[in-house]
Chains A and B, each alone.
Chain A
């Protein structure tokens, strides 16, 4: 009796095991089928046929290109200006910061300076040259030339100095020409340029802060050069000789320039207000000597 019961139980359990195994086999097949449905490999041919695979790849590529462009545009926003643009920015910012000291914001009559200076430049063959003249209502700074944006020249000239010397339009233009040539010779840029300017101009600072000291250092050097240091005898000699060679073909201009230097020489020697002029632009007396023909010793 017991043995019959045991045999029945063994049969039932073996049947249950067999059925469960059979069920497990069916479930696995369904999963496999599902996997086959989502398996890209199995529908690859269909997708390729529809062009969906290609468009998915293209979309991925387009997104990558757009993302790259977006990053590039964002990077460009962090660019330092070029050297030519930095010179213009520094000069104008220096003028803005020194507005009260230089007193350039004042009402003045039209002296015809722009037209006369432009005509003089053209007469001497300086074509396609851009310039800006800024008149100062102060004797603090007599004259200077600083670089503007992209090879433009900014010329500064004191109205009290013009009035004190009672300068004619031609004499004013010749003074401006001297400063124009001085800037073209590169003496100012050489004296003021910093190591940072050459290194950072036109580069990118994406992911960092812009170097504030870049402009601050240059502005300090502007002050030093324009108000204290001035130019050397050698630099002044070069400029005077350039003026000599440009004006030689026009005797009336050369004579006016020679007389103008004499006028300035006499004026600055007796007028204490302009005592620094000789130190900044050495020296009208020497310039007259450099221009005078050498005396022959018999």
Chain B
């Protein structure tokens, strides 16, 4: 009787646990940014993250994303971040280099949100070397 009751729970645990794989831990590069709900710059923000924030990059057959996006986990949130914003090594961040000065900006939640959106909206480029 007890086994019959536990069976659906065990089956659910298996489908969520076996499918996902952690590719590695990467660090966020821009000053601020967002973990998006879907793999699109315009999609809603699940959470705002700042430079050097560690993100677990996940791989799952159930999650489809365009090639320039990574499926990540930040704390309890699972969402999408542009791959060009990720670094294998901890980046050097302005707020890390100048913590006391950066603190003096006293950014409010709205400013944090927009600073993250700014990096989503930029069309960034760099011309090649000679």
User: Using a CB–CB distance below 8 Å, which chain A residues touch chain B?
Assistant: 77-81, 85, 88-89, 92-93, 95-97, 99, 104-105, 107, 113-115, 117-118, 121-122, 126-135, 149, 154, 205, 209-210, 212, 215
Mind listing 14 A-B residue pairs with CB under 8 Å? A81-B97, A81-B98, A88-B94, A95-B118, A96-B111, A107-B42, A117-B125, A130-B124, A131-B125, A132-B122, A132-B123, A133-B123, A134-B123, A149-B94
Given A81-B94, A96-B115, A133-B122, answer yes or no on A127-B101 (Cβ-Cβ < 8 Å).
no
A96 to B120 alpha-carbon distance, docked (Å): 13
Within residues 71 to 130 of chain B, which ones have a CB less than 8 A from any CB in chain A? 94, 97-101, 104-105, 111, 114-115, 117-118, 121-130
Query: Contacting B121 at CB < 8 Å: which of A77, A105, A117, A131?
Result: A105
B49: min CB distance to chain A, Å:
16
Chain A CB within 8 A of B58 CB: no
Contact with A along B21-55 (1 / 0, CB 8 A): 00000000001000000000010000000000000
B47: min CB distance to chain A, Å:
17
A136 to B10 alpha-carbon distance, docked (Å): 52
Contact A134 B130 (CB under 8 A): no
A113 / chain B contacts, CB cutoff of 8 Å: 123
B117 / chain A contacts, CB cutoff of 8 Å: 99, 105
Contact B104 A130 (CB under 8 A): no
A-B contacts counted at CB < 8 A amount to 92
B91: min CB distance to chain A, Å:
12
Contact A210 B114 (CB under 8 A): no
> From A149, which residue of chain B is reached at the shortest CB distance?
B94
A130 / chain B contacts, CB cutoff of 8 Å: 124-126
Report which residue of B100, B104, B111 has the largest number of chain A beta carbons within 10 angstroms of its beta carbon.
Answer: B100
B130 / chain A contacts, CB cutoff of 8 Å: 127
A107: min CB distance to chain B, Å:
4
Given A96-B118, A132-B122, A133-B122, answer yes or no on A212-B104 (Cβ-Cβ < 8 Å).
yes
Report which residue of A92, A96, A131, A209 has the largest number of chain B beta carbons within 10 angstroms of its beta carbon.
Answer: A96
A270 to B22 alpha-carbon distance, docked (Å): 60
B129 / chain A contacts, CB cutoff of 8 Å: 127-128
A209 to B98 alpha-carbon distance, docked (Å): 13
B-side interface residues, number (CB < 8 Å)? 25
> From A117, which residue of chain B is reached at the shortest CB distance?
B125
> From A85, which residue of chain B is reached at the shortest CB distance?
B94
B104 / chain A contacts, CB cutoff of 8 Å: 209-210, 212
Contact A128 B122 (CB under 8 A): no
A80: min CB distance to chain B, Å:
6
Report which residue of A85, A105, A117 has the largest number of chain B beta carbons within 10 angstroms of its beta carbon.
Answer: A105
Contact B114 A105 (CB under 8 A): yes
A117 / chain B contacts, CB cutoff of 8 Å: 125
B41: min CB distance to chain A, Å:
8
> From A129, which residue of chain B is reached at the shortest CB distance?
B127
A92 to B124 alpha-carbon distance, docked (Å): 14
Contact B97 A127 (CB under 8 A): no
A95 to B123 alpha-carbon distance, docked (Å): 15
> From A120, which residue of chain B is reached at the shortest CB distance?
B127
Query: Contacting A79 at CB < 8 Å: which of B42, B101, B111?
Result: B101
A209 to B31 alpha-carbon distance, docked (Å): 23
Contact A131 B124 (CB under 8 A): yes
B40: min CB distance to chain A, Å:
9
Contact B122 A134 (CB under 8 A): yes
Instruction: Give 7 closest A-B pairs by Cβ, nearest first.
Output: A114-B123, A133-B123, A132-B122, A118-B125, A107-B42, A99-B114, A210-B104
A149 / chain B contacts, CB cutoff of 8 Å: 94
A-B contact sample (17 more), CB < 8 A, given A77-B99, A81-B98, A105-B118: A78-B100, A79-B97, A80-B101, A81-B101, A92-B115, A96-B111, A96-B118, A97-B111, A99-B118, A104-B118, A107-B42, A122-B127, A127-B130, A128-B128, A132-B125, A205-B100, A210-B104
